[in-house]
Structure 1
């Protein structure tokens, strides 16, 4: 069963320097029907103006990853990590017992467009940690590249939850199929472009809850970038 959530059904917040769309309830956007899915709690589609960003703020007991679609995002945290991430860079921060970080657009001229995703961990009170890996377009072109998994088998990063995340780029005749284990859920997010999932046409910003399906087929992409989350069969996030 596929449950389609269209891009224009998401929550929206325009702060001037930040234009953000919320797939699930976040901050001032509260929808009792959209409180996450399985262990997936947040997908924020953020555009930040040049020279602006999020000042230092704390997190704990959350798996948080950032995925840049266009531009650059500068990260600093209280663990001593600092990096500028660009398209293809996956940054994963496991907040654990507590970490504070800031995220800024270091450009003086260009905006940055990125996704920030929160996933609830399977264990709380763990030491915080930071990981980063680059996934070239060639690794993602016409296929679903594993970028996050519990085991962290290279080049995927290790996440503290029974979730696997795949990233793919599709255009023209490129297509890919993902077979889920029995009774698994999935969530498909179209970061940009257009694509078809099991015959369902999707546009940029659309998302799909997947239940009772074992095979996911992606095809007919038009400059499409897609994230696929292989999830436990839970309806709502919980620790």
Structure 2
């Protein structure tokens, strides 16, 4: 509240004169003592040491908090940069199609067949395999008009920067590829099954992004033609 000026009350008026006696007046009422605000510190006065300590402590606390937040932001950025740098990339020439491939295209340089020791990442859509084992690390690719037990009929390639989607999602995508496959009428001359192959978590980390669908014959190398149109 602002300081306000206070004035003493005026003295009471004198009473009526007494006949034959002296005139007596009542003493004036004592004015109340005004309440004054504490005087401001004069210029150049030294502040309270305890107040200085509290202000200094608050300033140090704010600086420490800012430093902690800044370090946390820097660490988060470093972690994100490392995460992006270590993200597996797609193999050369395999950027990920995003669609199920069901129509083989002629290779630029046809390989001589039969060819033994072909690794799964080198399988081509339409390849035919002798004595096929989907779990094998290498297979023998043969001409489709020679006896074989399996043929690769559909392929899906995940983009190289995708995170591992999990086993169930990969199995579902492989099933989708099998459903999308278009087979020639000759396929119905054999007792065939669809067989799926998809990456494990370990092979995904090494760059494997392929989901394959094969038709296989349980009776062995009994197929003598391509089952694709």
Q: Which protein has the bigger helix share?
A: 2
Q: Which protein has the bigger strand share?
A: 1
TM-score by length of 1: 0.22
Determine which structure has more spread, i.e. the larger CA radius of gyration: 2
TM-score by length of 2: 0.23
